Chains A and B, each alone.
Chain A
């Protein structure tokens, strides 16, 4: 039984009724695409096209088109990978953990957040693929297949293999969770559909949903258990990603603090990305009554918390490196802050540690413009965090003779552009053809937490 204190601001404003909800959300799906939508689509498709060119050249010529070298074997590729995985954390976190905590305010954003998660995870998964010297073999040799497929089994000691399992599990479970949520809403669209085709399509998508009470009760427990499973999963994914570095011997990588630090960072960047998208959607799809300032404020608070955790982690790292008494370790961190890549380190510090602290000020916390800008700043910062960890640790490790610099090429950037283009294309398509807000859930709270209580006659 959910208890909602009445002093809380309404989660849905504008005196919406259940059928208003249906209309508002379905209008997007049924209506013609808006101008701003088409514009967004055009932009992301161009990015995708440029990225595609870069990708084709990469696959044709070889990894050499990137700026990597014998010392720095990973740079933008794995940076992007970790960045995207991090972003992919918010969605499931919002719907799963907040569901467990009965946070109703999640309801109007979790649908989009989950979609974002799924697309982000796909983007993330691209990079371990592209960064392989022999993708055409790697994509299936990384699975535990019998020796007839290549040779030997896979190496279960390798964090990279753990990633394969973690990422794919996370992807599948999130997708399932998301889809389960979609079924009733597909049914809604099905029943409103005018023409035959969409009736058929949405009919199939809705799995013949008829809203029977029995199904609803099963449905509820499924959602609850999935949430229960997804919660540790969310935490595990970035923990395992952090193992890629934590289990190595490279100073700056070999750090036990990484798992919690990475998870916090992931939630941090994830919420920032959700914020960015929500604010866009809110504007473009005119969902002001569903994504209220209250939602924004709550998300900003989470951003302050996770941001501060990340900040503490950075400082801890510095302290431990000094405290360890290991010269290589000490140099690695000194080099981060003062070496050739100092600018990357300080960009990271400013964006991730200092900027979110502005949210302590209520005015900024509740300002849409500020939230939008800061949400982007945070994700820039988080990208640099990964870049700093990967590149500045590698480029000056144990033997000074191998110290080298990394300079990105067009193709490094192109690959990143590709993932961005892909992500926004997918998200826009989702926003157009899928119900961006979980209607069923929102309807269920209209009465309890809507701004105007419908009196029963």
Chain B
């Protein structure tokens, strides 16, 4: 997500205050850019109106892919490409293929989903991170409000943040 230049940043300590603050701010027709916190605050995504993540679907699809891959591989290798008499058993039969199928299903599903998550959330080792406040990975929660998106009503916003219990309110510019 491309960050705009100017932000107003409210810093909180208590996660519950943050949730109520977000609600309050939004009722005042002010768009909250994003909330940053050291740990997941429960209820915040509802407050911000985030939809339920679609990652489970991705996981399921990748899982199916794994199952399919595993079964075709095994039946093709053992039954079609190079059949061999092993222990007098049939060349290819389902029961002995179950374990590998299961493992590949889990593996591909897990890797696929995590991959999607990384891409979706734009997480990558070489990413230059821009923080609203250095303490958000310690113990502070931050509500960031994009001035550009709220046609520069900065003072009003600052007060609003103070009211909702922000310990401090700063401006943050990304040059």
Contacts and interface: CB of A to CB of B under 8 A. Distances in A.
State if A and B touch, Cβ cutoff 8 Å: yes
Contact of A155 (B86, B103, B131, B135): B86
B118 interface: yes
A192 B139 CA distance: 12
B116 to A, nearest CB: 9
A165 B73 contact: no
A17 B138 CA distance: 10
Given A18-B138, A19-B139, A222-B114, A156 B35 contact: no
A263 interface: no
Contact of A19 (B77, B113, B138): B138
A176 B114 contact: yes
Given A165-B104, A169-B106, A191-B137, A203 B129 contact: yes
Contact of B106 (A18, A173, A447): A173
A412 to B, nearest CB: 29
B139 A240 contact: no
B3 to A, nearest CB: 10
B48 A213 contact: yes
B56 A221 contact: yes
A335 interface: no
A22 B135 CA distance: 11
Contact size class for A?
35 or more
A212 B34 contact: yes
A222 B127 contact: no
Contacts of B104: 165, 169
Contacts of B109: 229
B100 interface: yes
A61 interface: no
A213 B41 contact: yes
Contact of A208 (B38, B39, B129): B129
Interface in A198-221: 203-221
A19 B106 CA distance: 37
Contacts of B15: 444, 447
Nearest to B73: A144
A214 B96 contact: no
Nearest to A161: B100
Nearest to A224: B56
B81 to A, nearest CB: 7
A437 to B, nearest CB: 13
A218 B55 contact: yes
Contact of B139 (A22, A208, A233): A22
B174 interface: no
A183 interface: yes
Given A217-B50, A243-B99, A153 B81 contact: yes
A217 B56 contact: no
Given A173-B110, A210-B131, A454-B14, A152 B139 contact: no
A454 to B, nearest CB: 7
A426 B167 CA distance: 42
Interface in B48-74: 48, 50, 52-53, 55-56, 59, 73-74
Contact of B114 (A21, A168, A220, A226): A226
Contact of B38 (A165, A222, A443): A443
A221 B50 CA distance: 13
Given A156-B78, A156-B96, A208-B129, A184 B38 contact: yes
A156 B103 CA distance: 13
Contacts of B87: 157
Nearest to A183: B123
A162 B103 CA distance: 9
Contact size class for B?
35 or more
Nearest to A226: B110
A250 interface: no
Nearest to A247: B96
Interface in B10-44: 13-17, 34-42, 44
Contacts of B48: 213-214
A66 B27 CA distance: 75
Contact of A210 (B40, B118, B125, B130): B130
Contacts of A206: 129
A2 B109 CA distance: 28
B107 A213 contact: no
B38 A440 contact: yes
A231 B158 CA distance: 47
Given A176-B114, A229-B59, A209 B123 contact: yes
A169 B14 CA distance: 40
A63 interface: no
Contact of A229 (B17, B37, B110, B138): B110
Nearest to A18: B139
Contacts of A213: 34-37, 41, 44-45, 48, 50
B129 A221 contact: no
Given A203-B129, A225-B59, A454-B14, A444 B39 contact: yes
6 contacts: A169-B103, A176-B110, A191-B134, A207-B123, A212-B36, A444-B15
Given A184-B39, A211-B136, A211-B137, 15 more contacts: A156-B77, A165-B99, A183-B123, A191-B135, A210-B36, A210-B129, A210-B132, A216-B37, A216-B40, A216-B44, A217-B50, A225-B59, A229-B59, A440-B40, A447-B16
Interface of A: 1, 17-19, 21-22, 144, 147, 152-157, 161-162, 165-166, 168-169, 172-173, 176, 180, 183-184, 187-188, 190-192, 203-222, 225-226, 229-230, 232-233, 236, 240, 243, 439-441, 443-444, 447, 454, 456-457
Interface of B: 13-17, 34-42, 44-45, 48, 50, 52-53, 55-56, 59, 73-74, 77-78, 81-82, 84, 86-87, 89, 96-97, 99-100, 102-104, 106-107, 109-111, 113-114, 117-118, 120-132, 134-139, 165
What are the 6 tightest A-B residue pairs by CB atom distance, in nearest-first order? Answer: A208-B127, A18-B139, A207-B123, A444-B39, A162-B99, A19-B139
